[in-house]
Amino acid sequence: MIENPKKGQTVYRIEEYSDFIERGKVTDPTIKRMELGGTVYSIVENINWNAYVDADGKVGRDSYGSSSCNLSNLFTSAKEADANRRIRNKKKFREYYDSIQSVEDLVKFPLHHLICGEDRNYYAIIAYLVKSKEILGVTDIKVLKEYKYFIDDIGLSFPWLD
């Protein structure tokens, strides 16, 4: 994580919706404090984003635009961003998984989480399908296998899936 960004410094972030690693250059390193819902955020004023990269920093495709960015989501390398992304996603999966303890929880879960559509939450889907198997003894293995990349990405394995 970066504490004091410098003008012209190359930085990386985890793009919130796509979960891709995005590379950019700091154009205004001014840090502003913002309070939202009792939480204080440190926001870097302006970064020009220029590419989506893999964990090794290799460019996959161009990115365009500029924005501010929460300091806690800025990293000095693509590897650091990727490691943080994996930890964050594993934590999200665990929170979803732990929230489903009964058939009632299982029924309510899709009403409160995006498990279909364009902006679906892959880790919510995985937690839902795994808990379906554990609680009801049934799940859609074919659909769960479609999310194998995400399962492997956060280091999970299920013997009944292989």
pLDDT in the model for residue 162: 73
List of residues 6+ apart from 160 with CB closer than 8 A:
133, 141
Q: Which two tokens stand for residue 32?
A: 């502003």
5: left (phi over 0), alpha (psi -120 to 50) or beta: beta
Q: Which of 21-25, 43-47, 99-103, 139-143 has the least mean pLDDT?
A: 139-143
What tens digit of pLDDT does each residue of 83-132 get? 999 999 999 999 999 999 999 999 999 999 988 877 788 899 999 999 99
What tens digit of pLDDT does each residue of 46-67 get? 999 999 999 999 999 999 899 9
**Tokens 């859609």 found at:** 140
Count of C-beta atoms within a 10 Å radius of residue 128: 20
Global confidence as pTM: 0.83
